[in-house]
Amino acid sequence: MSTTPRHLQLSLRQRDARTALLFVAPAVIIILLVTLQPILTTLYLSFFESQLGRFSVNVFRGLGNYIDMLKSAVFWSTIRRTLHFTLFSVGLELVLGIAVAQLIASHPPGWKFLRTSLIIPWAVPTIVTGMMWGWIYNADYGALNGLLSQLGLIKEYVPWLIRPTRAMNLAILADVWHTVPFVALILQAALATLPQEMEEAAAVDGANAWQRFWLIRIPLLRPAIMVAMVIRTVEAFRVFDIIYVMTGGGPAFGTVTISYLTYLETFKYGHIGNGSALSFLISIFSFALALIYIRLLYRQEDSH
Amino acid sequence: MSKKTTCVLAFLLVASVLLAACAPAAATTAPVAQGPVTVRILLMQQAGPTPDENNAIAAEFNKLNPDIQVVIDYVAYDALHDKIVTSMSANPPTYDAFLMDDGWYGEFQKAGYLLDVTDRITQVMKDGVFKSAWGVTTVGDKLYGLPYFLDTKYFFYNEELLKQAGFNEPPKTWEEMMNMAKVIKEKGIAEYPVVWSWAQREAAICDWVVLLTGNGGSMMDANGQPAFNNDKGVETLTWMVQSIDDGLSNPSSVTNIEDNVVSVMQQGKAVFALNWIYMENAVGFNETDSKVIGKIKIALMPVFASAAAAGLESTSINGSMGMSIAAQSQHPDETWAFIAYLASEDVMNRYSANLLPFWETSFTGDKLAALEALAPVNAVTVPAFLMQFPYAVTRPHLPYYQEASLALQLALQEALTHVKTPQQALDEAAAKWVELGK
Amino acid sequence: MSRKKTLTRALLFLLTIPVLLFVFMPVAWLVISSISTKAELLSIPIHWIPQHPTLSNYTNILTPGTATSEVAKSFKVVMRNSFLVATSVTALCLLVGSLAAYALARIRFPFRKGLLLGILGTRMIPEVSLVIPLYIIATRLKLYDTPWILIATYLSFALPFAIWIIASFFESVPVEMEEAALMDGCSRLRILFNIVIPISAPGLVSTAIFIFLMSWDEFFYALIFTSTIAAKTMPVAIAEFVGRYSTDITAMMAGGVFAALPPVLLSLIFQRYIVTGMTAGAVKG
């Protein structure tokens, strides 16, 4: 029998909670220092017109930077471009991902090799991907030109990256190459765990392969598809590295995405205030997307 | 409930303290340290004196000034601008001195990054350095650094192919060159006799300035307003577009950067090209890659006939870089001491294998002979530099130069690809410049 | 019936070919370019198979002569830096992340939901934006151009990610085992290390690989926070093959292959774990 008064005994739950707080403490401290503090500083800077190196000459602007950004034509055209990138990139990844996942799940000869090879584009570092595809698209000596002209599809070498929209689409292609494996492998794993009974019953009822695919398998895959889509959408919206390496935002701003615009404002034009405001606009949007993901996840949990 | 609220409030308090503690602080002037001082310099990779050479210079300096330790960092050119900008957010700045590109002077001066060194320039320097070099580091009427890499664009031509076409002398005007090009093309000697670097990069602006000023035009007028869209400008751009349409300028020019021009020349596919001095080594001395060793010569940059008639001899673009000191550096005197040492005539002469000195006096008499003998390529590059550099024109040092240049690059591209007429494109760029200038 | 099956199998096999081509062709071209001479790379028509294949691009990087660029000379050191940073970040994330993930996954405590949301939220801000504030911290603490600053800044995006993934692995450990251990009076720490971690070991391996690849891959922070070979990592070194006017294309290709080898090899060896990791949080149960 315990001798301490009842009201001083810590319940198991409270002791547990204390342990939990101790467990999360190291992580929280690190995150406070390297993530939260910079975020708060960026937030702080977004309310001023600041010039790097001259912090003593700050002009408080309240929401001025945010309003300026929301009023600027460059901002909206950049949003348009970013959405274009995101939609096409994620869309292509989804379609190709489902197709490849299904292909693997059908176990054709060599499917194991196929699944293993898929990892390679994903594992190649982004900078190497950007550089490699930049070289493939090279106007004078690139492999794309070489291939197409040897196949007789083009008569002269094409300067691929010279037109803004085309450059954007080619950047999308490079990005898709790099990230389709991610989607394909997730969906393939999900396919492997699908219950067979529904499809078998449908087959007995006379449904053909296509019908089984569209009406049963895809709906069952919905949770996995949703998850892959949201993860990739948030990442695609924030794309930066591959643009920096492959096109540097050009030509004619054609591949400037919202993260790249933040880079331009902060580093090239020196408007930290604007850059910080942009960052927060991006964060808010990404966070909203992420919340959708959480909602979906919990909804999925409930429905199981 | 209130316990939770207390916790949340405590958390926010901690957070705001953290924020305040680490928030960017105003620049403070620290007391000048006595004793050994470390000076940190940022230089560019892959151009100019090698790290070994720079370290040797730093060691020499250290012997003469035991209290000053010089540390040198190197970055790729593409990262140089961003590195300098980020270093300014530290207090004191990470780098006491750094190499900078001509186009950044307006921007950095306005941002307050650069130390005004007008009063530190000695009379010796004023007298001895090439007059056209100072334009690089001048903003307004003050000097913000020492010109360091001096470079300009040169007019290269393939003498052998030119002779094949029946011409013994290089052209003196652009019109003459195009006439020669027509003949070369007709004779089948080269499909596209001229090649340029008109990609949507700063390279295009460099070529543009050469051609524009060669036509008697200019980027800005006396009131500081853009002047490149006047009829001289439109005429020049129309000429550029026409040369591609006529098949005399290589169509790849529209996507070429300097590197591509080198390749085309090395393969013997072009007869005329503009480029920086580094091309000489690539086309004339690189036996692995060049098919035209010994065939490429440099001539004085042509101008347009009407400008020549008005007395213009030649023109070119000043593509130099400058060595500047951070305004908030804690050791400006020591840093200046090293920069001045680095740029002193004696040091520059001794380490000129990869970097030509900026002293006019280095190019006279025995010193000239020594310079030319230092490396085989110098025998060509040194006389070429002496011939062309005095005509180098500097681009405008606007605080908003990055954005302005982008607008003009876009305009040139749009005209070259027939998306807009030259007048339209240039007018829009000029309007953008006016807007940025407000 | 079996004829139809053979036909289907043949058709499926044919379909794998475009996929394999899509995957391999770019990489194959990278490798081919890396063993070509500059002259061959710049030839028209294109040389799919180099006529004079050479390993000199690689030897220039590994055993540089005086003719090699400065960048190439320091490549070995740079690879070492990348390894150092990536393994440190991975180790820290696993250790600190496991502790936090366990608490978040299994224990009910005040602020749990808020913390989860907060950790997720920190991932939302673009990395570009954090550079200046982090730079200020780095210089204040005199960590600029050291591997430590990279480790610290990488934690900013790796740790939340690690916590999130590890938590989902922990959640799939059967809770009954832990409850039984709790009844027996085991401390949470003991449960974590003796039960939960061993069971979710494959998941932890996945996470480790992910974090390693993320750190190896990171480019922009490394570009800004490092300047000498004291701390420079591989992506920065590759970017430096691009000079002011000219690009050392063959060195860049060889460098690219080098840079890609560790992550690709790692991924191929541990592919099973990667797939598991990818599906963590995506497919429950």
Summarize pLDDT for B343-375 with one digit per residue, the tens: 998 899 888 877 888 898 888 888 888 888 888
> So what's the pLDDT on residue A281?
86
Same structural domain, B166 and B181: yes
Residue B5, pLDDT score: 61
pLDDT bin (cut points 50, 70, 90) of residue C75 is confident
Delineate the domains of chain A, giving CATH numbers in brackets. Answer: 72-129+163-303 (1.10.3720.10)
In this structure, the answer to whether residues B368 and B426 fall within a common structural domain is no
Residues B343 and B303 in one domain: no
Say which range, B8-22, B215-229, B339-353, C234-248, has the weakest mean pLDDT. B8-22
CA distance A217 to A195: 9
Shortest distance, CA A247 to any CA of chain B (angstroms) = 11
Note whether B42 and B124 are same-domain residues: yes
* B224 CB within 8 Å of a chain A CB: no
pLDDT band at B216 (very low <50, low <70, confident <90, very high): very high
* Residue C45, preceding peptide bond in cis (omega within 30° of 0): yes
**Probe site for chain A from B4, B19, B196 (most A CB atoms < 10 A):** B19
> Does residue B21 lie within any of the structural domains?
no
- Substitution target from C106, C119, C125 for chain A, most A beta carbons within 10 A: C125
Q: Evaluate whether residue B261 is within a structural domain.
A: yes
B34, pLDDT greater than 60: no
User: Is the per-residue pLDDT at B8 higher than 90?
Assistant: no
Cβ atoms B151, B319 nearer than 8 A: yes
Read off the tokens for A104. Answer: 């693997």
Q: What is the pLDDT of residue C70?
A: 62
Chain C contact for A109 (CB, 8 A cutoff):
yes
B263 — contact with chain C (CB < 8 Å)?
Answer: yes
- The per-residue pLDDT for C8 is 83
DSSP-assigned states of every residue in C73-122: HTHHHHHHHHHHHHHHHHHHHHHHHHHHHHHHHH---TTHHHHHHHHHHH
In what helix (H) or strand (E) does residue B72 lie, and over which residues does it extend? strand B68-75
Q: Quick one: B301 and B195 in the same domain?
A: yes
In one-letter notation, the amino acid at residue C208 is: A
For residues C204 and C191, the answer to whether their CB atoms sit within 8 Å is no
CA dihedral of residues C24, C29, C32, C38 (deg, nearest 10): -170
Phi (first) and psi of residue B297, to 5 degrees: -125, 160
Asked if pLDDT for residue B201 goes beyond 70, the answer is yes
Q: Can you list the residues of chain A whose pLDDT is less than 50?
A: 1, 304
Q: Are residues B208 and B300 in the same domain?
A: yes
When pLDDT is averaged across residues C195-201 and rounded to a whole number, the result is: 86
Residue A204: count other Cβ atoms within 10 Å of its Cβ. Answer: 8
Q: What is the pLDDT of residue B208?
A: 97
B427, part of any domain: yes
The pLDDT score that the predictor gives to residue B25 is: 45
| Domain of residue B368, CATH code | 3.40.190.10
Residue B227 lies in a domain: yes
* Residue-level pLDDT at C122: 80
Query: What per-residue confidence (pLDDT) applies to C87?
Result: 96
Q: What is the pLDDT confidence band of residue B217, given thresholds at 50, 70 and 90?
A: very high
Q: Is the pLDDT of residue B15 over 60?
A: no
Q: Which residue of C has its CA nearest to B278?
A: C245
- Name the residue type at position B63: K
Residue B31 has pLDDT above 50, yes or no: no
The verdict on ipTM greater than 0.95 is: no
pLDDT band at B27 (very low <50, low <70, confident <90, very high): very low
Rounded to 5 degrees, φ, ψ at C187 are -75, 160
**pLDDT for residue A205:** 81
B228 and B263 inside one domain: yes
pLDDT for res A78: 94
Q: Residue B122 phi/psi, 5° resolution?
A: -80, 165
Tokens coding A267 = 């580093």
Rounded Cα distance between B260 and B266, Å, is 10
**Tens digit of pLDDT for each residue in B261-316?**
998 999 899 999 999 998 998 999 988 888 999 999 999 999 999 999 999 999 99
Q: Tell me, yes or no, whether B188 and B278 share the same domain.
A: yes
The distance from CA B134 to its chain's CA centroid, rounded to whole angstroms, is 13
Q: Are B402 and B107 in contact (CB under 8 A)?
A: yes
Q: Kindly indicate the confidence band of residue C97, based on its pLDDT and cuts at 50, 70 and 90.
A: very high
Please check whether residues B280 and B161 belong to one and the same domain.
Answer: yes
The better pLDDT of the pair A175, B15 is held by A175
Residue B152, sorted as left (phi over 0), alpha (psi -120 to 50) or beta, turns out to be beta
At B377, list the tokens. 């390529």
H helices of C123-174, in order, are 127-140, 147-171
Q: What's the confidence (pLDDT) of residue C257?
A: 93
Q: Fill in the DSSP letter of residue B33.
A: P
Query: How many structural domains are present in chain B?
Result: 2
What does the pLDDT read at residue C274? Answer: 80
Is the same domain home to B175 and B244? yes
Domain match, B351 and B406 both: no
C107–A185 C-beta distance less than 8 A: no
pLDDT band at C183 (very low <50, low <70, confident <90, very high): confident
pLDDT at residue number B314: 96
Q: Are residues B238 and B258 in the same domain?
A: yes
CA distance linking residue C278 with residue C203, whole number of Å: 10
DSSP code, position A162: G
Across the interface, of C38, C131, C136, the residue whose CB is closest to B24 is: C136
| Four-residue CA torsion sign, B303, B309, B313, B317 | negative
Inform me whether the C-beta atom of residue B98 falls under 8 Å from chain C C-beta atoms. no
Using 50, 70 and 90 to split pLDDT, how confident is the model at C134? confident
Full domain range(s) for residue B226? 154-317+400-436
Q: Is A35 on the interface with B (CB under 8 A)?
A: no
Per-residue confidence at B79, pLDDT binned at 50, 70, 90?
Answer: confident
Structural domain contains residue B313:
yes
Name the more confident of A269 and B223: B223
Nearest to A61 by CA among A50, A72, A77, A70: A50
Q: What is the pTM of this model?
A: 0.87
- Does any domain span residue B111? yes
Q: CA-CA distance, B147 to B401, in Å (whole number)?
A: 19
Query: Does residue B28 fall inside a structural domain?
Result: no
What pLDDT, on a 0 to 100 scale, did the predictor assign at position B210? Answer: 97
Burial of B251 (0-12, 13-18, 19+ CB in 10 A): middle
Residue B83 placed within a domain: yes
Backbone phi and psi for residue A302, each to the nearest 5 degrees, phi listed first: -65, -40
